Amino acid sequence: MNDSDKRLAALAAIAEVRAGMIVGLGTGSTAAFAIAALGEQVRAGLQIKAVATSLATEASAREAGIQLIEMPARIDLTIDGADEIDSALNAIKGAGGAMLREKVVAAASDRMLVIADGSKRVGAIGAAKIPVEVLPFAHAFVADRLAALGGAPVLRAGFTSDQGNPILDCRFPADIDHAALAAAIDAIPGALGHGLFLAEVDAAYIATDGVVTRLERGETSA
């Protein structure tokens, strides 16, 4: 992981932010660079409103002087990190446990950008753990269903989400059909959200050794 590349990716993405937009702010160390840079622009006069995907992001945005609003029905542009992303813009998110709110924000967004350093880019997603946020009441049941899907769920020790829920980190076989897997997890009562983002990401800015590459959904190269 490379902070200078994270920052470069973040700067490239925030160039898409326009005055008057409602902006979704992601969670994690890469999104933090976008929040800091947007804060600088806000202090220089840029007028935006923002929605935070986590309590940590809310605190950072507030500190940066960015105006925060409650989750609206529609967001113009969201900028968020990822744990893995492939060339088809499939992503795994949630190492920081924020994927449930991140999924809501991404789904509400006209456009969602992933920002990452090159370590996150993979040929095909699947090596990273896929986190599943669980209703506490349903924990044993959901764990059993995830195990039956091949996920070998492990409770994230000493952690609850911003919603106060436990997270089960799952390692599925790398060659699993992720679309079918996402649908299967979505269908488990008590599984509140998971880290597979298969349709949400519109574009990614990925920086490697100081060079930013933009991947756009529907384009083979950019």
Ligand X SMILES: O=C[C@H](O)[C@H](O)[C@H](O)COP(=O)(O)O
CB of 51 to ligand X, least distance (A): 15
Residue 5 interacting with ligand X (CB under 6 A):
no
Annotation says 84 is catalytic: no
Closer of 97 and 153 to ligand X (Cβ): 97
Closer to ligand X by CB, 24 or 94: give it: 94
CA-to-CA distance for 110 and 56, rounded, in angstroms? 24
Give the whole-angstrom CA distance, residue 201 versus residue 206: 13
Task: Verify binding: residue 60, ligand X, rule CB under 6 A.
Answer: no
- Binding of ligand X at residue 165 (CB under 6 A)? no
Q: What is residue 44's three-state secondary structure?
A: coil
Stretch 128-147 residues interacting with ligand X (CB under 6 A):
none
Among 98, 168, 181, 188, binds ligand X (CB under 6 A): 98
Among the listed residues 4, 18, 20, 29, the single contact to ligand X using CB under 6 A: 29
d(CA 116, CA 202): 14
Q: Which of 146, 119, 153, 131 is nearest to 197 (CA)?
A: 131
39, 96, 126, 166: residue in contact with ligand X (rule CB under 6 A): 96
Strand ranges for the chain from DSSP E:
22-25, 49-52, 75-80, 84-85, 91-92, 109-117, 130-134, 154-155, 167-170, 191-194, 196-197, 203-208, 211-216
Among 25, 51, 84, 94, binds ligand X (CB under 6 A): 94
Strands 203-208 and 109-117: parallel
Q: Which of the residues 40, 63, 84, 102 is marked catalytic?
A: 102
Only one of the segments 23-31, 38-46, 58-66, 173-181 lies at the binding site for ligand X (rule: CB under 6 A); that segment is: 23-31
Residue 215 carries which DSSP code? E
Binding site for ligand X (CB under 6 A): 26-31, 80-83, 93-99, 102
Residue positions annotated with a catalytic role: 102
